[in-house]
């Protein structure tokens, strides 16, 4: 077994993502010699203790980060400013602060200015998840074969970036670096907009008159079923993602609405060729995803 990458890894938030990292650390032994976990609620802390996936379960975030050489924030992105204010004075000199948040410019905006000099900041985002949340939802294979995007800042310490790269490699992920604004635009189209559409379409179905609503559930075709899976995701996490990637999400939504209008026009005027062409493009994207093992 390789040497542990870190002496003490503090996880701030132990839901789907944080508890998956904790499980990997437990299973491999070479992420950190000691894992400390903190969360907001007593119920989550008790559950993490019962699962035995952290060496120390600590209700106070300031105490959780004390002496940690790596702090990984795994909470909803709307909580970052408050978390940053709570932990910043207690961070050890030379510590690396990293995260897993789904938006990157907001994380850099909210956390960056709070971190003291001598603490290295390496924002990251593993592109892996499910619609489930909480410490029971995590599993050690979550990041296997998936991408983790790092969005280091111009002045980021190369050695700190390399250690976070290695951490994600040991979690089974493929790692790439990306500029934060570019990350937010790419994620707006591949993840944030699809979630917005799923939440919206479920709302539209739910607004139908009572008798058709019952039929929507009873006869849900696979298309609608797939949307309901995505729509089952955590409301706090997704509210925070939408509000913290506002510009890119609104831009992608505007483009989507234009294209949806064009499709509506083709349907209205019986333009079968246009419709078929769009469906063929969709099928091509699906086939490419399968080919690169990201389906
Ligand atoms: P989750 O399962 O809902 O877990 C969130 C965790 O954060 C919980 O342990 C929660 O504690 C804790 N938390 C919330 N507010 C906190 C605060 N103020 N201080 C300390 N802890 C706090 O969420 P998740 O799916 O793991 O998502 C975590 C992060 O990963 C988010 O930023 C999300 O954008 C990102 N992400 C999610 C996915 C996905 O598909 N789910 C994929 C990639 C990245 P309590 O349980 O006590 O409230």
Span from the CA of 66 to the centroid of ligand 1 (angstroms): 21
Residue 161 neighbours by CB distance under 10 Å: 21
Whether the CA torsion 154, 159, 162, 166 is positive or negative: it is: negative
pLDDT of residue 36: 98
pLDDT of residue 218: 79
pLDDT of residue 295: 81
**Maximal C-alpha separation, the chain:** 67
pLDDT of residue 174: 98
Residues of the chain with CATH 1.10.3660.10: 182-291
Would you tell me which CATH number, out of the four given (3.40.50.300, 1.40.20.10, 3.40.50.720, 1.10.3720.10), belongs to the domain 6-178?
3.40.50.720
Residues of the chain with CATH 3.40.50.720: 6-178
Segments in the chain below pLDDT 70: none
- Does the C-beta of 191 come closer than 6 Å to ligand 1? no
Domain 182-291: state its class.
Answer: mainly alpha
Answer whether 168's CB lies under 8 Å from 126's CB. Answer: yes
pLDDT of residue 207: 86
pLDDT of residue 33: 98
Question: Atom 4 (ligand 1): residue with closest C-alpha?
Answer: 15
Span from the CA of 247 to the centroid of ligand 1 (angstroms): 23
Name the pTM for this structure. Answer: 0.95
Per-residue pLDDT of 181-237, as tens digits, reads 999 999 999 999 999 999 999 998 888 877 777 787 777 777 888 899 999 999 999
Residue to mutate, 10, 17, 42, ligand 1, most ligand atoms under 8 Å from C-beta: 17
Answer whether 147's CB lies under 8 Å from 56's CB. Answer: no
CA-based radius of gyration for the chain: 21
Span from the CA of 285 to the centroid of ligand 1 (angstroms): 30
- Does the C-beta of 133 come closer than 6 Å to ligand 1? yes
Residue to mutate, 10, 12, 13, 98, ligand 1, most ligand atoms under 8 Å from C-beta: 13
């Amino acid at each position: 077994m390789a040497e542990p990458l870190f002496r003490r890894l503090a996880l701030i938030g132990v839901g789907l993502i944080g508890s998956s990292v904790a499980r990997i650390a437990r299973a491999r032994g070479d992420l950190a010699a000691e894992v400390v976990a903190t969360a907001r609620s007593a119920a989550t802390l008790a559950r993490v203790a019962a699962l035995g996936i952290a060496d120390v379960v600590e209700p106070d975030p300031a105490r959780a980060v004390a002496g940690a050489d790596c702090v990984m924030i795994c909470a909803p992105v709307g909580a970052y400013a408050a978390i940053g204010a709570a932990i910043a004075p207690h961070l050890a000199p030379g510590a690396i602060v990293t995260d897993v948040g789904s938006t990157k410019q907001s994380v850099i905006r909210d956390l960056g200015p709070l971190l003291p000099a001598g603490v290295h900041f390496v924002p990251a985002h593993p592109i892996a998840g499910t619609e489930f949340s909480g410490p029971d939802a995590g599993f050690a294979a979550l990041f296997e074969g998936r991408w983790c995007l790092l969005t280091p800042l111009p002045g980021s310490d190369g050695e700190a970036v390399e250690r976070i790269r290695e951490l994600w490699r040991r979690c089974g992920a493929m790692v790439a670096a990306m500029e934060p604004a570019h990350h937010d635009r790419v994620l707006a189209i591949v993840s944030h907009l699809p979630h917005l559409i799923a939440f919206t379409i479920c709302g539209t179905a739910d607004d139908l008159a009572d008798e058709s609503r019952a039929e929507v559930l009873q006869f849900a075709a696979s298309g609608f079923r797939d949307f309901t899976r995505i729509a089952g995701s955590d409301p706090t996490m997704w509210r925070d993602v939408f509000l913290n990637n506002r510009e890119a999400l609104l831009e992608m939504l505007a483009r989507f609405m234009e294209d949806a209008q064009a499709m509506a026009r083709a349907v209205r005027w019986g333009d079968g060729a246009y419709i078929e062409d769009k469906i063929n493009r969709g099928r091509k994207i699906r086939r490419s995803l399968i080919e690169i093992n990201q389906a």
